[in-house]
Structure 1
């Protein structure tokens, strides 16, 4: 089931290739001069002709609502969405795009920001850096890639931001390398950490920041975490009215709820967009999404990928 959010048919007004097999796309509304506002960390859904939906972070300037800018990395082992965009989208194309939504908000009032990006994970991070700089708030941006030649949005990062706030780290340039554990070992008072990137990078930052206090670490992942390899087991969902919904081992909680007549909205169904998020009242969940924070996991549940042990009571 697709998201019920507003879907706009936007016109591609610019498309350029970036290093790292990335296509940067600007879209505008064909009639309206301004698009719905967004905050740094926001993403949009792009609806593909085959019915698939893909999420892309907005990497443009939040103050410029004349256009949205997304950057799409071609994933050779992906599910086909990025390949279709790279092969089909050009200036003049029409893309169905949702209104923005934010599961990775920047809290400007919470002290200095440590912004970490790995590869294409720069997309939400650069929007955050733009806002921090415009407001005169302290921040550091550390951008990690394999090499300068494969770094997407490098020119934007270097030209739009104060160089004194930006650190570039390339695997093939030893003098620029930075050990994550050393970088995150110390924490200035009130600092907040925001990071985004591929799975290996995300896991490395998670380990290096394990000692940071709860509520100070924020992230956005493009893929759900690796499963633990344990075969899924059946469990039971109980709704507010007492309805019992069995979830078989080979069925997602989302599919079981739909079969029971619970119309939950969903989009990616892969644990990364947050569309199907719902409240949780009681039970032992097995969280397998890449959206909910540690604090949110005490009260929220993502039925597209997450499971449970025994009986899970949901606020549905």
Structure 2
């Protein structure tokens, strides 16, 4: 009869799991701890009944979100693909390639010092681009920028940005004699009479705009010089969910109005009329109109719009747009 082997006091069985024991670490995506996690893929499809076109975007981030690859294209009801675009973007470099036109647009931006940034863009097919240097002066609120076209056709454009606006100075060609002169453009904002006054000067035209706004009302008159084109906008809020807007142009006598009613963030109803095109319309948004499809229920946004011409009601049209996102 074989002798029984005495138990080894140095060997102890593993302790049994208890309720207080932490759960084991989950295996990484892909089912193997030795394989890297597959980057998430985002697919967005949008259909517009007015153009009868589908718009598609397929994108994914890789290298721990250091870069993003995106493919976009559209197709009609016959399945014909058009306008395919491929884009690779990162923090310092972006590449946009047109697969139909066989053209690439390259952009780059990076810091070359604690208060100096370099920016460049180049169109490969047109052999044109732009380079710029941006310097922070007395803090990030004050910037000075020098930018020039490539190949250069004159002096670089100088832009000074400050908290109340910006002013730019550039060389401009005048007439067929290629006479060059300096051109000044700029925009300045300031508080005036409990409102904000904005003056914008561009291409020898001055636009003056005043905005008065409180919790219930906004009044926005504007005038352009030297054309003396006068217009104003009026907005009235009747509550947290109802708002009326009205625009009138004195120069052309055209006007338009829009009434909005919100039900939370997921539903928005709008109705309006535009006298320039003599068209009345009504639309319903399901999903936040200004938000992304990611924040909408089921990651889907829908808009229905009814257009009714004033002179021909029989030619009224009902259109809709649907945008859906999938995260794979």
TM-score by length of 1: 0.22
The structure showing larger relative contact order (alpha-carbon pairs under 8 Å, at least 6 residues apart) is 1
Compare CA radii of gyration and give the structure with the larger one: 2
